[in-house]
Amino acid sequence: MTSDAVLTEVVDEVLVVTLNRPEVRNAIDSDLALGVRAAFDELDHRDDLRVGVLTGAAGTFCSGMDLKAFARHGRPRGSQVLLREGARKPLVAAIEGFALGGGFELALVADILVMAEDALVGLPETRVGLFPSGGALHRLPAVLPRPVVAELAFTGDRMGAERAHHFGLVSRVTPPGKALPEALDIAAGIARSAPLGVGAVKELLRTGPGADDFWVRQRELAETVFNSGDAREGATAFAERRDPRWRNR
């Protein structure tokens, strides 16, 4: 799938999704939001795709909501569904330049964040009369201390890669320009893992350990996965010291 605002490319079993509005630092308008949603649908529904990588064109991840478009048309169509649901399969975000406001919230939809050492993230919405309304105030407190989240959201200040890594917000920090190759390396590792097990991990991470039905759902998934062909193949391959079939597709 290729469109003006969002580009996709298949690399082995990985779908690379590129935000492509470089003239406005990949700001989110309706075309971009709907394009990313379509790319996530493609990822989820194609059996040959195992993981997605989300990145931005021209050295910037995403500068946030397109405020000029917002002033004319209101909130981007499809953005709230996109930021609430993400994708069912694993996602890795490769952050270069800026991930601000809605762009930061879009990055937080990913399961793993990779950040260039000179990149910045932040929630500047209060500086323009708005507030973070795309899930950051739900997702960030699960990772960052509440006072750190409050400072980011109240002040609109930006956080660098070193501090983000210190708090565990990002998995890896890379030299400038290397976030995408690092994200692809992580994605390749995910693609080598058993798909049923990866799917179970993704679902339980989305459920969250504090959810009332977490243990019930974990037991249900364990019954399915532990009795699967993937589990038998993995155990047999381990005993015979060979790669299971799913790693050689």
Domain boundaries, the chain: 6-191, 195-248
Instruction: Report yes or no: 107 and 128 within 8 Å, Cβ to Cβ.
Output: no
Query: Residue 244 and residue 60: Cα distance in Å, rounded?
Result: 38
pLDDT at 1: 46
Q: Which residues have C-beta within 8 Å of that of residue 87, sequence separation ≥ 6? A: 40, 43, 44, 52, 109
The residue behind tokens 């350990």 is 209
pLDDT at 3: 65
Per-residue confidence in pLDDT tens, the chain, 249 aa: 446 999 999 999 999 999 999 999 999 999 999 999 999 999 999 999 999 999 999 999 999 999 988 888 878 888 888 899 999 999 999 999 999 999 999 999 999 999 999 999 999 999 999 999 999 999 999 999 999 999 999 999 999 999 999 999 999 999 999 999 999 999 999 999 999 999 999 999 988 777 788 999 999 999 999 999 988 888 888 888 888 877 776
Instruction: Report yes or no: 50 and 198 within 8 Å, Cβ to Cβ.
Output: yes
The residue behind tokens 């190759």 is 181
pLDDT at 249: 63
Q: Does domain 195-248 have CATH number 1.10.12.10?
A: yes
Structure-block tokens of residue 99: 């991930």
Q: 3-class DSSP state for residue 194?
A: coil
Among all residues, which ones are annotated catalytic? 105, 125
User: Other C-beta atoms within 10 Å of 169: how many?
Assistant: 19
The residue behind tokens 């699967």 is 228
**CATH assignment, 6-191:** 3.90.226.10
Fill in the amino acid letter for 156.
G
